[in-house]
Amino acid sequence: MDRFTPPTLTPPPPLRHATGKSPHWTLDWIDYSRIQIDVIHDKVDLFYLLVSASFIESGSDTYTRNLVEHYDAHPQISDWLQHQWEPEELQHGRALKTYVQTVWPDFDWDAAYAAFFDEYSRLCTVEELEDDRALELVARCVVETGTATYYQTLRDLSAEPVLAELTEHIRTDEVQHYKHFYRYFKELNAERKLSRARILGALRRRLLELRTSDSDIALRHVWAFRQAMPGVDQEPFERVCQRLYQYVGAQLPMDQAVKMLLKPLALPHRMEHFIERPLTHLARRVMTA
Ligand SMILES: [Fe+2]
Ligand SMILES: [Fe+2]
């Protein structure tokens, strides 16, 4: 497997708000005309990873509706979900879609996405969420840990400078999403005072769900549409999955992921030691099996 040297990132434009905080990046920050297509166009594994990610991000609004409804008694959370979280996730989808269409123009993104969305949208129901509002926030921390880890891996795997810049922007957003969900969890849990066993249960459930849900559906549709393209080597789905898991798994920053997963448990330092190993084992199994 090729290992790429990390590229130099292009610094974002030096614009500042009056508050001194950097503004959130926008699609026009990404100069797609600078993509070095010859560096990436034959990287089939990156194609699968990027298209799958673009599908899941583009379907975020379906999930948001359910989440907003779930938190209707908590306007601060539902406002943030609607006005910041959803637009940012959809921006990730649009940015990745444009990247994919620029590098692989023969791939019919719209048709493949429509097939994916038909299946995916039927799975996104309120019943899939944790009943307890605080526990669902723990579950969201798991999802954002997964995405932050995923984009960090993609950034590190990418030798193409525009992709490295784009995945770094998205990674930063995912870390911020994690921080929001974690802060909201702490606020809700100050009253709920959930036991560590229940929090650990929610962590475990969502980790195991990650293994079978969104990314598998997305990858299966990407694979099916790619197989139908003329001149493409036929390859069984299972072999593609196995190769991708190894490709990504070798690069995943597991220590960082486990630290993020442990935070909602608020364990005393000496206890972290006992749970770190089984949690690392579970997370690695989920992300690389
Ligand atoms: Fe995202
Ligand atoms: Fe996110």
* Cα 57 to ligand 1 centroid, rounded to whole Å: 5
Instruction: Give the chain's end-to-end CA distance (angstroms, integer).
Output: 18
Percent of the chain at pLDDT > 90 equals 59
- Does a structural domain hold residue 283? yes
* Cα 166 to ligand 1 centroid, rounded to whole Å: 12
Distances (CA, A) of 196 to 52, 201, 274: 34, 8, 14
* Cα 163 to ligand 1 centroid, rounded to whole Å: 15
Which structural domain, as residue segments, surrounds residue 171? Answer: 41-288
Res. 252 pLDDT band, cuts 50 70 90: confident
pLDDT digits (tens, 9 = 90+) for 253-279: 888 888 899 899 888 777 777 777 777
* Cα 88 to ligand 2 centroid, rounded to whole Å: 8
- pTM for the whole thing? 0.87
Whether 8 has a pLDDT exceeding 70, the answer reads no
* Cα 176 to ligand 2 centroid, rounded to whole Å: 8
Q: What is the pLDDT of residue 2?
A: 39
Distances (CA, A) of 87 to 27, 57, 263: 12, 10, 26
- Looking at residue 126, which CATH number applies to its domain? 1.10.620.20
* Cα 147 to ligand 2 centroid, rounded to whole Å: 7
- Does a structural domain hold residue 74? yes
- Does a structural domain hold residue 25? no
pLDDT digits (tens, 9 = 90+) for 52-68: 999 999 998 887 888 89
- Does a structural domain hold residue 10? no
pLDDT digits (tens, 9 = 90+) for 75-111: 999 999 999 999 999 999 999 999 999 999 999 999 9
* Cα 174 to ligand 2 centroid, rounded to whole Å: 4
- Does a structural domain hold residue 22? no
- Does a structural domain hold residue 164? yes
Whole-angstrom Cα Rg for the chain = 19
Q: What is the count of structural domains for the chain?
A: 1
* Cα 226 to ligand 1 centroid, rounded to whole Å: 23
- Does a structural domain hold residue 24? no
- Does a structural domain hold residue 152? yes
Could you say which ligand is closest to the alpha carbon of residue 95?
1
Query: Among 72, 67, 77, which residue's Cα sits nearest to residue 125?
Result: 67
